[in-house]
Structure 1
């Protein structure tokens, strides 16, 4: 049974400190399957009751697509679930100090058992499986996003915030005229999201802010909150921030790279072996092999939108084949050159729209199976991939969302690990999304065909 995480005396102390800091309202938040923050605003006085009793929400929101269509639980009458605040995540909002944010865990109302279609709860179970065998997964995420200005005359009704070519690794007023990214970075530090660097990326008006590594659930919580922060701060400046993978046809895509290592109970890096020439342990190789074996199904979580697959091409430094390599940016799994405590793997295929909780949970389960089965990967790639024999390049990644969903549906073991109800809901929502896309006449089709055919 899930219970409030803090005794009443400690809970009261936390709330009194919040009130003294000027907090009057709390935004309760939890991620839906898309990674969109859902929740309610409650008064700081009502918040104390919420920590005891939870807050009711209709379960239909977890089966809802981004066009506001609910695909599940209708036959059951759309019953309620409870969101129970996790007091350890309560934090004041620096640009709205009258507000605090608090993440919630979802549970069944009658039994208080974890709600099975809860991305945060799914990651918690995945992380716990590593704890049980003596490892703590550490993850850091790299998140890229574009800033856009509203413009009713532009295609898509938006134009770039910055139009300068060759902007990568630049900063200051030319790269960020309104100083918005600097504000985002400062706010992320204030909210203890452990932001460590910010810079202009390759795309015009594209930025990246990196967060320091930590244990999996904490890392996903920070990534989720960071994406919310970026979009909120942009709106307050009259802009739109998007993590959409390929918003512009003539510019770079936005990725979501994951850096992963495992820490032992005595604080050592389980991926490091000083006695091997490459410095990688068997555990690291097992983990890599598990990821490669399940990558077609993992793509559904790492690239969960129709648009995500438009950015997968070699010219954009996005891997197109399932392989691995040492410090090779065209490899799907890159092994950065750092060793010792910094030994890690980098998954380079993720799209900016990935739900961090589901992406983390899925890749961790895949890596864990590699460890349990003592799997080994094929030899790493080197040199130009296109010049390697086909059998050494690795199999191609799924080329569209439909193929990735099909691979996920066929992966019975991953379905069992993540939970049949969650996978069923995810597949139902995403297949409906893909069907809507297939039936929609695009602007490209009209421009290509309507005048001549």
Structure 2
């Protein structure tokens, strides 16, 4: 397409010009809620131009309801007691993306909440954590890896089936299969092309172990851009699949028969003044600088307190069990995929740490904010990590302080009681997010599972 390109947009004036140049009557504007669900609307061009200058308003109920549009009854920020007023938002011009599925040059822009809602906004939280890092002299970089299952199903068919006997895209355990990726190459090529067009480029795409499961590794970028890429990837992978009569799920675990779906995070810091890696030091053990050692220590120490941000659903905790490639304690190791934190020795360009705890259902902005925030806290307080784990972390006894909460309720209590969380994220966010996780657990407790019926109906 000739003329201005979406990813070249940097300012409000650029955004106005590209919309005018394309003769668009409307654009799409979206934001991400507490659960990482993308919400938004079509906005008339004239209204959009006004929003670029002055912001726009959106009902704050989108921060006050759950993933089923049910209203939280236990949050202070918004509710019947406030009357669900409008909250201000600011368009982010530089987030401009092509929407290839909608044709005619249609554009998508992201928006951030401002004012008191900005204290709750997940993207805003990540921005605040990154600003803290900049004040300490660091720029943070990240990349996200997601596992997701594809099914030969539709939103209607999965409900008609009661989410049972679902048909995966392909059968059997076929990790890294060249057979599968070649037979279904058109699908792979479509997803790869979409990732380039919408600027969440996929660095690697392959089958994982399980029927119809893929893993996509997104390219590294500065951490805020990495959050945008992760959140847009999850949303528009689902859109892409459904437009082709398929469904993609990012549940942490959809079946007890297969490993859960991870959302691993690769992180590094660079020194703002020198541009060098803050993690790489050639003559230190594992090439880990003091800063990286303190960063890992902060992540390790705060992992039990921050778990709700990485494992935010009831379903998340079905993944965190031994033997299924998911960490069960706040451990770290060097090139060890059985630990929660995997230090990857490398060069100035590649020395990093992989936060392996997160599941695919986590909100990318919150997971990045928590993983980076914990590391910065470790640097600030010069924390020291425990000894690195050598061998299979699942088979070793770990100290009590490394134990992770076993339920979402317990994780919410640990977050609420965390002084570090309040220092990093603010009281308003901690209170709000913890309350939403308590709500999620209370909603679950109202239901009777198939397991309970099978277990107790006749015999007890």
Normalising by the residue count of structure 1, what TM-score does the alignment of the two structures yield?
0.92
> CA separation of 1:354/1:289 partners in 2, compared to 1, >3 Å: closer, same or farther?
same
| Structure 2 partner of 1:44 | 45
216-225 vs 394-403, which moves further: 394-403
50-59 vs 249-258, which moves further: 50-59
Alpha-carbon distance in structure 1 between the residues aligned to 2:179 and 2:53: 47
* 1:363 counterpart (337, 359, 371): 371
State the shift of 1:41 in Å.
Answer: 0.9
State the shift of 1:413 in Å.
Answer: 2.6
State the shift of 1:371 in Å.
Answer: 0.4
Segments of structure 1 that go 5 or more residues without pairing to the other structure are: none
Q: 1:335-356 CA distances to partner (integer Å, 9 max, x unpaired)?
A: 1243332000001110111101
The answer to whether the 8 A contact 2:180-2:207 is kept is no
| Structure 2 partner of 1:197 | 204
State the shift of 1:11 in Å.
Answer: 4.0
| Structure 2 partner of 1:6 | 11
The answer to whether the 8 A contact 1:114-1:121 is kept is no
| Structure 2 partner of 1:296 | 304
Matched, 1:313 2:321: yes
| Structure 2 partner of 1:433 | 440
> CA separation of 1:89/1:441 partners in 2, compared to 1, >3 Å: closer, same or farther?
same
Question: Over aligned residues, Cα RMSD in angstroms?
Answer: 2.2
| Structure 1 partner of 2:381 | 373
Matched, 1:281 2:289: yes
Alpha-carbon distance in structure 1 between the residues aligned to 2:185 and 2:60: 40
Alignment of 1:175-186 (within 5 A): 177=184, 179-186=186-193
| Structure 1 partner of 2:97 | 91
| Structure 1 partner of 2:346 | 338
Alpha-carbon distance in structure 1 between the residues aligned to 2:433 and 2:391: 38
* 1:79 counterpart (41, 63, 85): 85
The answer to whether the 8 A contact 1:289-1:375 is kept is yes
* 2:176 counterpart (165, 169, 175): 169
Normalising by the residue count of structure 2, what TM-score does the alignment of the two structures yield?
0.90
The answer to whether the 8 A contact 1:272-1:279 is kept is yes
Segments of structure 2 that go 5 or more residues without pairing to the other structure are: 1-8
The answer to whether the 8 A contact 1:142-1:208 is kept is yes
| Structure 1 partner of 2:4 | none
> CA separation of 1:431/1:389 partners in 2, compared to 1, >3 Å: closer, same or farther?
closer
SS at match of 1:345: strand
Matched, 1:227 2:234: yes
State the shift of 1:171 in Å.
Answer: 4.0
State the shift of 1:441 in Å.
Answer: 0.4
Alpha-carbon distance in structure 2 between the residues aligned to 1:238 and 1:46: 34
Matched, 1:412 2:430: no
Q: 1:54-76 CA distances to partner (integer Å, 9 max, x unpaired)?
A: 22211122021123222242211
